């Protein structure tokens, strides 16, 4: 959705970012953003002129929850309702949702506490993870 | 007709995350056999990548049933540019990938950050619908595909129908068995639309024609480009590690990760953590495993003190073997793991480290 909105607005866009830095221009006003996200085991960085569209991933910040006075003010706020114009039918149609089949098998117990270490070592050998 | 699959590459060739996308694309192409009697041999499969100098593993292409390679030439644009990549795919989808291949009926990519982003741009450019995180796709009629795709971090599967002249799909990287990769080869793209022999040492020495395609870009297509970013470390990465030692809330605090790092070193692996750990500031976000972190697919995932929330399991369900160490026998991670040790990780991990050292591991 963010990409489609960006195209409709004619703005640059980057999605799934986990770092965002606003950069001021020569007049001191926000001018650009530096956005970063994980790629493989590195971070790729994007430099976008404002205004821009970004979508963020969980972990980019800690949510700031509204205060009680803020919530009370929000209840009195007016909400504009915008009517959508005609649009073509969706090309992607959901038929049903279902829970993936599982094997139903419980995990195999290797024991309790430090007494399970010999079983863990044998399992490491069997799996071939020790080199 | 042709199914076109975007493959991501790195210095070693096609990235592993693109192999499931190739597998689903091949299955989609083959399914046209029953859906359209006029195309009784199924559809062709073409693989597209960005950069004429990209290292492309000819063995993987051949084993994935690729009939045609397409190197998208973005000229001096070296980095990842999502809109420009999409413009290249849009051009190929419009112009086709060569004589005898017919029109492009679908564009498929891996459901990575880049794959989802590029196909979203492609959908916006073409005005076509896109389906993300598919685990299977088949042609049920011309212009209609039956899909199964992951929803809610893979906790649910959705059956859906996509009706579109060109189906745009991304493939969940951890839900589809990838085609077995072949021996390294090379696909030359130095000539335009000319068959290029793949100098393969693998078992299927099939010549794959490679089309070099230069899209007409607009100014806005290059407005967003990724800066080159070096790997953080020359060592093992979380995404490709053979062994991952995971730590969650049960580790108790930032100091507790020292022993997990030591264990990971002894096993030749790396440390991964759950979201609560990064939210608490105990470890950096880049070590997070999960839906909004890194998706891992190691031989062994040793999950220590991790409850096993759906969002975390979405990132580790690609692990071949999961061992849970947890004090709570009813924790979801214990139920979903292959093996479990019920106990305090602060007792189990030091004993395990000691056992490894006694075997000579340092």
Residuewise pLDDT in 10s, chain B (362 residues): 999 999 998 888 888 889 899 999 999 999 986 555 455 568 999 999 998 888 887 777 888 889 899 999 998 777 899 999 999 999 999 998 888 888 999 999 999 999 999 999 999 999 999 999 999 999 999 999 999 999 987 888 999 999 999 999 999 987 664 433 333 334 444 333 333 333 334 444 456 788 899 999 988 898 899 986 655 555 667 888 899 999 999 999 999 999 999 999 999 999 999 999 998 889 988 899 988 888 888 999 999 999 999 889 988 988 999 999 999 999 999 999 999 999 999 999 999 999 999 998 88
Q: Closest CB to A95: pick one of B116, B159, B286.
A: B159
Cα nearest neighbour of A47 on chain B: B224
Strand partners, B44: B2
Q: Does B155 touch chain A (CB under 8 A)?
A: yes
Is B121 in contact with A3 (Cβ distance < 8 A)?
yes
Cis omega before residue B54 (within 30°)? Answer: no
Cα nearest neighbour of B132 on chain A: A92
Burial of B230 per CB tally in 10 Å (0-12, 13-18, 19+): exposed
Is A107 in contact with B337 (Cβ distance < 8 A)?
yes
User: For chain B, how many residues are written?
Assistant: 362
Cα nearest neighbour of B235 on chain A: A41
Do B330 and B307 form a contact (C-beta atoms < 8 A)?
Answer: no
3-state secondary structure of B39: helix
User: Residue A7 and residue B130: Cα distance in Å, rounded?
Assistant: 15
Is A100 in contact with B157 (Cβ distance < 8 A)?
yes
Q: Closest CB to A46: pick one of B151, B226, B275.
A: B226
Interface test with B, best of A47, A129, A131 (most B CBs within 10 A): A129
Q: How far is the alpha carbon of B346 from chain A, nearest alpha carbon, in Å?
A: 9
Q: Closest CB to A95: pick one of B161, B243, B323.
A: B161
User: Residue B198 and residue B201: Cα distance in Å, rounded?
Assistant: 9
Cα nearest neighbour of A35 on chain B: B226
Give the angle subtended at the CA of A22 by the CAs of A17 and A25, to the nearest 5°: 145
Do B127 and B143 form a contact (C-beta atoms < 8 A)?
Answer: no
Q: Which chain A residues touch B10 with a CB distance below 8 Å?
A: 40
Is B324 in contact with A111 (Cβ distance < 8 A)?
no
């Amino acid at each position: 959705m963010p990409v489609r909105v960006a195209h409709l607005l004619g703005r640059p866009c980057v999605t799934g970012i986990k770092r965002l830095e606003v950069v001021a221009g020569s007049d001191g006003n926000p001018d650009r953003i530096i956005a970063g996200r994980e790629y493989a085991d590195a971070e790729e960085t994007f430099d976008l002129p404002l205004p821009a569209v970004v979508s963020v991933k969980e972990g980019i910040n800690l949510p700031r929850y509204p205060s009680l006075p803020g919530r009370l003010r929000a209840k009195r706020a007016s909400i504009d309702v915008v009517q959508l114009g005609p649009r073509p039918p969706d090309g992607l149609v959901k038929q049903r949702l279902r829970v993936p089949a599982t094997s139903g098998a419980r995990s195999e117990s290797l024991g309790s506490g430090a007494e399970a270490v010999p079983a863990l070592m044998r399992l490491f050998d069997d799996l071939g993870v020790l080199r | 007709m042709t199914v076109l699959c975007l493959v991501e590459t790195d210095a070693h060739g096609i990235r592993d995350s693109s192999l499931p996308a190739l597998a689903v694309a091949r299955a989609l192409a083959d399914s046209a056999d029953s859906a359209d009697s006029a195309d009784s041999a199924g559809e062709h499969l073409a693989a597209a990548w960005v950069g004429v100098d990209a290292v492309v593993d000819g063995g993987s292409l051949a084993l994935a049933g690729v009939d045609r390679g397409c190197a998208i030439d973005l000229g001096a644009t070296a980095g990842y540019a999502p809109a420009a990549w999409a413009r290249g795919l849009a051009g190929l989808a419009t112009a086709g990938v060569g004589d005898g291949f017919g029109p492009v009926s679908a564009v498929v990519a891996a459901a990575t950050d880049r794959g989802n982003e590029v196909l979203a741009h492609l959908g916006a450019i073409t005005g076509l619908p896109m389906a993300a995180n598919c685990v299977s796709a088949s042609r049920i009629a011309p212009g209609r595909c039956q899909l199964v795709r992951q929803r809610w971090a893979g906790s649910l599967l959705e059956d859906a129908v996509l009706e579109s002249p060109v189906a745009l799909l991304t493939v969940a990287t951890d839900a589809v068995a990838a085609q077995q990769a072949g021996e390294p080869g090379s696909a030359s793209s130095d000539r335009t639309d000319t068959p290029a022999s793949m100098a393969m040492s693998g078992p299927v020495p099939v010549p794959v024609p490679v089309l070099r395609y230069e899209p007409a870009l607009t100014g806005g297509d290059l407005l967003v480009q990724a800066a080159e970013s070096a790997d953080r470390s020359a060592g093992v990465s979380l995404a490709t590690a053979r062994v991952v030692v995971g730590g969650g809330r049960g580790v108790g605090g930032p100091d507790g990760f020292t022993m997990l790092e030591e264990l990971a070193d002894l096993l030749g692996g790396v440390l991964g953590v759950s979201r609560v750990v990064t939210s608490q500031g105990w470890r950096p976000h880049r070590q997070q495993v999960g839906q909004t972190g890194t998706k891992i697919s190691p031989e062994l995932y040793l999950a220590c003190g991790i409850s096993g929330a759906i969002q975390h399991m979405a990132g580790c369900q690609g692990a071949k073997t999961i061992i849970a160490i947890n004090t709570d026998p009813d924790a979801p991670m214990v139920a979903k793991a292959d093996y479990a040790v019920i106990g305090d990780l602060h007792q189990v991990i030091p004993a395990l480290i000691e056992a490894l050292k006694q075997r000579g591991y340092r």
